[in-house]
Amino acid sequence: MELEYNGTVYRPPVEANTLLLPVTEGCSHNTCRFCNMYRGVKFRMLSSDEIEAWLTEMYRVNGVYADQIERIYLVGADPFAISASRLEVVIDLIRRYFPAIQTVTMYAAVRNIMSKTDAQLKRLRELGVNELYVGVESGLDDVLKFLNKGNTVDDVRRQCARLNSIGMRHMSLLMTGAAGKGRGEEHALATAELINEIKPAMVLLTTISVFPGTDLEADVKAGRFTLAGEKEILSEEKLFLERLNLPSMYFWAAHSLNSVRIAGFIGKSRKAMLDRLQYAIDNIDEELFSRTFRRDHL
């Protein structure tokens, strides 16, 4: 069997050193206004034979170190979309080749969590699915609706509360600037309030970007959405960071889409991160920035 993944393989930047196992292709939703990552790639789940072929090759490549690997990341836009019973089969296959695995992690849309019962979530947690990257994006309902995320803020609250109740860690993916020009303060306050409530282990913050071929690109060109200036975006990020009251949470905003790259635990590094953001706010040349910084590709 020839091993070739259909489309580009994406994973959170913080998982750069994690073993990557293809489980799904494409995205089960694939209609978010800002995303072009899986356009043209039909969603499907890889068969058990395909997954085992990948595991066989991964085991061969890792050689003597295979028995020491403790973490694996399931590749796909939202592998948590597949059923709980199917995930159990996948995890069983993984452990045949990598018995030391302690953490099975992946992207998960809010709707994927909603589709699973409490008992199913608990069982998956017992099997090692103890971390999920959840696409939260915003703490404002109208922004989530505009982005076509397919869930509400209350859905985020309820589903993350379910994860917290069983001890399944979750990391929130967020986007500054998602509310558009003039709404940075409102967006920062609402999103900080949500994050303080759902208590993720980590926040991964990027900046809304206009990728080619997306509905957002059409919205910007037609004047239906106006991007915030960089000073407003940085001010939004600073206010958001100031309002977080989770000292043990890790804050990561070091993506290529972020003009100021910062990272650290809130309790230990917040002041240094805030100082860096304030320096950028005080010294940014908006005109020069708009000519030299691009957010049209990952």
Give the tens place of pLDDT for each residue, 162-204.
Answer: 999 999 999 999 999 999 999 999 999 999 999 999 999 999 9
Say how far apart CA 80 and CA 115 lie, in whole Å: 9
Give the tens place of pLDDT for each residue, 28-61.
Answer: 999 999 999 988 889 999 999 999 999 999 999 9
Token reading at 202 = 């980590």
pTM of the model: 0.95
Token reading at 55 = 């595991």
Region 112-122 average pLDDT: 97
**Residue 240 banded pLDDT, cuts 50, 70, 90:** very high
Whether the Cβ atoms of residue 219 and residue 208 lie closer than 8 Å to each other: no
Backbone angles phi, psi at 200, to 5 degrees: -70, 160
Say how far apart CA 172 and CA 205 lie, in whole Å: 8
Measuring CA to CA, how many Å separate 177 from each of 12, 184, 185, 237? 20, 6, 10, 9
Say how far apart CA 218 and CA 63 lie, in whole Å: 48
Complete edge-to-edge strand list for the sheet that includes strand 19-22: 19-22, 71-75, 103-108, 131-137, 169-176, 202-207, 250-253, 262-265
The pLDDT of residue 297 is above 80: no
Q: Under 8 Å CB-to-CB from 234, ≥6 apart: which residues? A: 259, 260, 277, 280, 281, 284
Token reading at 109 = 């849309």
Give the tens place of pLDDT for each residue, 218-228.
Answer: 999 999 999 99
pLDDT at 1: 59
**Residue 77 banded pLDDT, cuts 50, 70, 90:** confident
**Residue 78 banded pLDDT, cuts 50, 70, 90:** confident
Region 226-241 average pLDDT: 98
